[in-house]
Amino acid sequence: MQRKVMISCAVTGSADTPARNPAVPVTPQQIAQSAIDAAKAGAAIVHIHVRDPATTRPSMDVALYREVVDRIRSSGRDVLINLTTGPGARFVPDEENPQKPGPGTTMKLPAERVRHVVELKPDICSLDMGSMNMGPQVFVNTPTHLQAMAVAIRDTGVLPELEVFEAGHLLLAKRMIENGHVKPPGMFQICLGISWAQPASPEAMSYMRSLLPANSPWFAFGISLHQFPMAAQAVLLGGHPRVGLEDNLYLEKGKLAPSNAALVEKAAKIIEILGDSVATPSESRQILGIAARS
């Protein structure tokens, strides 16, 4: 039977990518328009970070999030908005005293990391379910911080996207569902290929999928050259793909992606080639149990 497959588009991320591909949106207007264009191309969900327009660096400014969300909502384009809560969790130890934070540390309290979610009430927000080495830095998400964030998200009525980079993250997410911090059955995002976590391979995705709670909707992505192979793998295994300029700058080998919409169009083609169909935002709300905005 043909399955409805949702496409999530991660629009800009927080890495130092605008200099590597000018299509990466930076200003609130650019981010919102790129999200709208991705929705026109078939994305049911747009995953949003914001950047300082002057520096292109990642930002946690609620005003920037508000402008992006307002622009998308006022456009008339139906799409589910997914705001990140990832910023505010990087720790770089001081070179002389590792107990102290060094340059590059962004650690924030849980309430600060979800303030924009509580105020803007998007359909979805990400929740990174554990700590890990991420490149040369440490990405710190302690269980107590995650519980506080999860409760705030739950009480706001927003669906958390449980981002899992390795098996332990998924097991912690399941425990938080069991303990009531997250409403069952949970929605998962399997994140593959990030240094240093699960590799972007069919075996890794299959293993992570095997650990999911029954009936949990799930997405998956691989970064860089793994984006489209992992998109196809997610569809084959019964999940939903995430694509976008946050994770990958290229449309094909040696060819920079001209837009997020182009990446979404390619993902939609993969879904259709594999015999399924692309879910609309309305259909995606039904799958995820999210009420339409009044």
User: What is the tally of helices (H) and strands (E) in the chain?
Assistant: 10, 17
Fold adopted by 4-288: TIM Barrel (3.20.20)
Domain residue spans in the chain? 4-288
- Mean pLDDT value across the chain: 97
d(CA 267, CA 231): 7
Annotate 98-127 with DSSP letters as a single string: TTSB-TT-----HHHHTHHHHHH--SEEEE
pLDDT per residue as tens digits for the range 21-43: 999 999 999 999 999 999 999 99
pLDDT of residue 135: 77
Give the pLDDT score at 181.
Answer: 98
The pLDDT value recorded for residue 294 is 64
Check residue 87 and give its pLDDT.
96
Percent of the chain surpassing pLDDT 90: 96
Rounded CA-CA distance 145/148 in Å is 5
Name which of 218, 224, 211, 234 is nearest 45 in CA terms: 218
Say if residues 127 and 146 touch (Cβ distance below 8 Å).
yes
pLDDT in tens, the chain (294 residues): 689 999 999 999 999 999 999 999 999 999 999 999 999 999 999 999 999 999 999 999 999 999 999 999 999 999 999 999 999 999 999 999 999 999 999 999 999 999 999 999 999 999 999 999 987 889 999 999 999 999 999 999 999 999 999 999 999 999 999 999 999 999 999 999 998 999 999 999 999 999 999 999 999 999 999 999 999 999 999 999 999 999 999 999 999 999 999 999 999 999 999 999 999 999 999 999 998 876
DSSP string, 134-189: ETTEEE---HHHHHHHHHHHHHHTPEEEEEESSHHHHHHHHHHHHTTSS-TT-EEE
pLDDT of residue 279: 98
